Structure 1
Amino acid sequence: MATKQFRLPDVGEGLTEAEILGWSVAVGDVVKVNQILVEIETAKAAVELPSPFAGTVGALLVEAGQTVDVGTPIIEIEVAGAEPDAKPAAKPAPAAGAAPAAKPAAEAPKREPVLVGYGVAQSATTRRARKNAPAAASPAPAAVASAASAPPAPVAAAPSVAPSAPAPAAQAPTVAPTHVLAKPLVRKLAKDLGVDLSTITPAREDGVITREEVERAAAAPAASPVAAPAVAALAEDRRVPIKGVRKATAAAMVASAFTAPHVTEFLTLDVSRTVKLVERLRAQPEYRDVKVSPLLITAKALISATRKFPEINASWDEAAQEIVLRGSVNLGIAAATPRGLVVPNIKGAERLTLRQLADALAQLTATAREGKTPLADLTGGTITITNVGVFGVDTGTPILNPGEAAILAFGAIKQQPWVHKGKVKPRWVTTLALSFDHRLVDGELGSRFLREVGRALEDPAAVLL
């Protein structure tokens, strides 16, 4: 048996850190290559990491909830018939042990199996073969952490550090986490609600705790304290770390607000025909299995207006001092998720029919709410819609998604008195707000573009169909 360490990889876009959301394995589990080990949250999305090794889990080096840098060892796996990773604790002991250290270096060209979703970073193989490791005492904390958290580790370390070997072995059962079966998203929910999973008795035969059981456990204590004091103490402040999607969104919005000169224009209009069109589409057989809403028609109107005014589908390249006119409309849809605001986008939206656009919107919002949006869908957007109307809000002044020239806020549709054909009647009315980068879009272009979107919503059958 040899101990192999799996280091946190860069899962894309040059990310430097990630949070460990939850482990799918426990110490002692037997794992296969490409079996899911852990779910992490990067600055863009939640990602499941598969195992690069087949063997037995020796130690979980990082606890759920911790944020670690790319390249940090996160798990140890006991692999049969493999060369062990460099052991920091074993190197400093014999001064004459430099000769054996050269053997792993000669075998360094061996490559780990390629994982589903990403390849093995070459830098990880190169770092293991450093010959001047005996002088570096800094890796010792990693060795102490692995020895404290995993029972198999002291067996390999016993010959070199005999007196201290029994202590970690005695502490291992105390430190090792209880193996509770639950999916990563259920673990995350339990953490957010303050529920201890070890106190829940699962009803399923396989012993896996469900989301419903966590929610019931969270609601149960609220009804139990009958003899609560008459005067409750003031609630204490709660501090939430700024990390993951929230941290990335904050940085992007600050950079956008203080880089691009924002201008926002508003347009209130009668969208009664759009409401009637939505009702007719819902009744058609080809649309019965997909969600049809005013947002779908608004998205189609925005795409149509963008093709008519392509200058608004652009970005500002400060380094090259160029304006980049985008060839395709990659339509971003701002989506509120439990982890914060994300803006996935539909690539080549101008090529989609209305039905195809409805399918794309449904899939995009579903994966975003589940936290499973691929990284590729979170980059490359060219223009965005934010639907504040679903919250009953009339409109707002949205901040540009970085790298884009415009964003449209779609407000709530409400029945209001409106002059229609010379008479005041109740009509379905909404307000649009268009924010744009004044370096790229001047007032005339922004006004014409917004008016074109409004014209399509006032008479969608004539403009869009």
Structure 2
Amino acid sequence: MTTMTEGSVREFKMPDVGEGLTEAEILKWYVQPGDTVTDGQVVCEVETAKAAVELPIPYDGVVRELRFPEGTTVDVGTAIITVDVGGPAEPAAPEPAPAAPERGEEPAPQGRQPVLVGYGVAASSTRRRPRKAAGAPAQEASAAQAAPAAVVAVQAELNGHGPADRRRPLAKPPVRKLAKDLGVDLATVTPTGPDGVITREDVHAAAAPQAVPQQATAPEPVAPAPVAAPAAPAPVTYDTARETRIPVKGVRKATAAAMVGSAFTAPHVTEFVTVDVTRTMKLVEELKQDKEFAGLRVNPLLLIAKALLVAVKRNPDINASWDEAAQEIVVKHYVNLGIAAATPRGLIVPNIKDAHAKTLPQLAQALGELVTTAREGKTSPAAMQGGTVTITNVGVFGVDTGTPILNPGESAILAVGAIKPQPWVHKGKVKPRQVTTLALSFDHRLVDGELGSKVLADVAAVLEQPKRLITWA
């Protein structure tokens, strides 16, 4: 998204690189003021609540200014870089103003309109002259003709000419969320931003204790009472030599919010089963030698994923989601298999689209690409959307198993524990066997104990006797 400014300078604004994201952190600039850029060149890398994404510039020119340093979190729609594109000046994008020439219609600016992820070209940028409201003062009617209809409506309400029940404080979505988190009513906040927009600073000011004004009205200055000492801000007692504070943002912040929402929205039930996977481990070694799997990643997770897909096929109702608004259970006739991956930026859950339709070699290839992309921090937001059921392999950390929390919007998640040699009764004798423990968490609103138990039992049966992949698949 771009905006024309003075002369031949253009502003490149932070786009919405996902679906409905409100902000992103600038991780790295690849250009500096004075550098020449070309259409499509990557100028920076940003981290959203979903992934790290590289942003290309949509035109040629010379970088004039980087508006924000690395590490800054910027709201979507805020200009982050200005570029001098050369050539004649172009008209600025229309903005609310009280003194614009009066005319019936203004055609949209001609020329190329860059389009990035999350933005599209407006269907029409024609502005029609709004009708003069009956009974409104002449001065306000003139201003209304010069401003866009939507702005006139907002200004009318702010000036007291709109219905009382329709007056709404002006604020960006991130600011509204901040106000909600701090318990601040936006209707009580005094705006200081342009055109009466409430800013973050306004919300923080409204949420701050009102002790200072009360002290200012006191007849004479009084020394602070001893009881006020414990009210010192936390950073004062922060031991920088022995403690480290890590800001919660980006992927970690989104993950925390999603897990809290899932844990306290969907009633979780977790079931466990311990299974002998000796035959599965032998099959893994055989597949590594198979020419069809040459160059592919073959490990126990591959067969566990296939076992879960078989169990879903035999019990399709497990592959569903709960629609709270419609009060409906949505059964999915496809499986987008999520694989939880620990990365330097936090836990992410990319998924393999239409995993149910893939052969074992295709599934191995998809798993390998998913893991490699996640480790490099290049997982796209699209790869983490639309999951239906998830696997988390906690066994790689040497633990037996866990009680996993559902990925939001899904009804089941399978945790796989460490595979270890243990004494096991096999064919009537105690022998050392390769054993693991599986844990299946599911949403008890749509998955009852019988269905959850069947799915977990089917996964265990396939891993115990891998030949069932042929008979059940």
TM-score between both structures, scaled by the size of structure 2: 0.71
Instruction: Give the match for residue 264 of structure 2.
Output: 258
Instruction: Give the match for residue 319 of structure 1.
Output: 325
Contact map agreement 1:53 1:113 (CA 8 A) in 2: no
**Alignment deviations for residues 273-301 of structure 1 (CA, whole Å, 9 cap, x no partner):** 00000000001122120110000000000
Instruction: Give the match for residue 299 of structure 1.
Output: 305
Instruction: Give the match for residue 281 of structure 1.
Output: 287
Distance 1:71 1:123, change over 3 A: farther
**Alignment deviations for residues 352-408 of structure 1 (CA, whole Å, 9 cap, x no partner):** 000000000011111111121122211111100000011111100000001111000
Distance 1:297 1:137, change over 3 A: closer
Instruction: Give the match for residue 346 of structure 1.
Output: 352
1:402 is paired with a residue of what secondary structure?
A: coil
1:393 aligns with 2:399: yes
Q: How does 1:146-165 map to 2 (within 5 A)?
A: none
| Structure 1 residue 27: Cα displacement | 0.2
Instruction: Give the match for residue 341 of structure 2.
Output: 335
Rounded Cα–Cα distance in structure 2 between residues aligned with 1:241 and 1:451: 42
1:457 aligns with 2:460: no
Contact map agreement 1:32 1:55 (CA 8 A) in 2: yes
1:418 aligns with 2:424: yes
Instruction: Give the match for residue 25 of structure 2.
Output: 19
| Structure 1 residue 235: Cα displacement | 3.0
Contact map agreement 2:407 2:413 (CA 8 A) in 1: yes
Distance 1:302 1:111, change over 3 A: farther
Contact map agreement 2:19 2:118 (CA 8 A) in 1: no
Distance 1:345 1:464, change over 3 A: farther
1:52 aligns with 2:34: no
Distance 1:395 1:323, change over 3 A: same
Contact map agreement 1:71 1:124 (CA 8 A) in 2: no
Distance 1:126 1:240, change over 3 A: farther
Q: Which 5+ residue runs of structure 1 have no aligned equivalent?
A: 141-232
- The one-letter code matched in structure 2 to 1:110 is Q
Instruction: Give the match for residue 70 of structure 2.
Output: 64
2:467 is paired with a residue of what secondary structure?
A: helix
Aligned identity (percent) is 60
Distance 1:73 1:415, change over 3 A: same
- The one-letter code matched in structure 2 to 1:43 is A
2:74 is paired with a residue of what secondary structure?
A: strand
| Structure 1 residue 28: Cα displacement | 0.2
Instruction: Give the match for residue 198 of structure 2.
Output: none
Rounded Cα–Cα distance in structure 2 between residues aligned with 1:310 and 1:120: 38
Rounded Cα–Cα distance in structure 1 between residues aligned with 2:192 and 2:72: 24
| Structure 1 residue 109: Cα displacement | 2.9
Distance 1:85 1:373, change over 3 A: farther
2:38 to 21, 27, 32: 32
Rounded Cα–Cα distance in structure 2 between residues aligned with 1:49 and 1:303: 36
| Structure 1 residue 126: Cα displacement | 9.4
1:114 aligns with 2:114: yes
Decide which moves more: 455-464 or 65-74: 455-464
Rounded Cα–Cα distance in structure 1 between residues aligned with 2:126 and 2:374: 36
Rounded Cα–Cα distance in structure 2 between residues aligned with 1:3 and 1:107: 22
Residues matched between the structures, number: 362
Q: Considering only aligned residues, what root-mean-square deviation do their CA atoms show, in Å? A: 3.0
Contact map agreement 2:107 2:126 (CA 8 A) in 1: no
2:242 is paired with a residue of what secondary structure?
A: coil
2:430 is paired with a residue of what secondary structure?
A: strand
| Structure 1 residue 236: Cα displacement | 3.1
Contact map agreement 2:402 2:415 (CA 8 A) in 1: yes
Contact map agreement 1:344 1:379 (CA 8 A) in 2: yes
Contact map agreement 1:388 1:410 (CA 8 A) in 2: yes
1:448 is paired with a residue of what secondary structure?
A: helix
Distance 1:390 1:82, change over 3 A: farther
Contact map agreement 2:275 2:464 (CA 8 A) in 1: yes
Distance 1:73 1:107, change over 3 A: farther
| Structure 1 residue 12: Cα displacement | 2.5
Distance 1:340 1:437, change over 3 A: same
TM-score between both structures, scaled by the size of structure 1: 0.72
2:446 to 440, 447, 464: 440
Distance 1:109 1:45, change over 3 A: same
Contact map agreement 1:9 1:121 (CA 8 A) in 2: no
- The one-letter code matched in structure 2 to 1:320 is A
Distance 1:14 1:302, change over 3 A: same
**Alignment deviations for residues 196-248 of structure 1 (CA, whole Å, 9 cap, x no partner):** xxxxxxxxxxxxxxxxxxxxxxxxxxxxxxxxxxxxx9833221111111011
**Alignment deviations for residues 119-158 of structure 1 (CA, whole Å, 9 cap, x no partner):** 556499899xx9669x999579xxxxxxxxxxxxxxxxxx
| Structure 1 residue 112: Cα displacement | 4.3
Q: Which 5+ residue runs of structure 2 have no aligned equivalent?
A: 1-6, 128-142, 149-154, 156-190, 196-238
Contact map agreement 1:290 1:359 (CA 8 A) in 2: yes
Rounded Cα–Cα distance in structure 2 between residues aligned with 1:112 and 1:19: 28
Q: How does 1:232-247 map to 2 (within 5 A)?
A: 235-247=241-253
Contact map agreement 2:15 2:119 (CA 8 A) in 1: no
| Structure 1 residue 83: Cα displacement | 3.4
Instruction: Give the match for residue 182 of structure 2.
Output: none
1:76 aligns with 2:82: yes
Instruction: Give the match for residue 274 of structure 2.
Output: 268
Decide which moves more: 372-381 or 401-410: 372-381
| Structure 1 residue 461: Cα displacement | 2.1
| Structure 1 residue 10: Cα displacement | 1.2
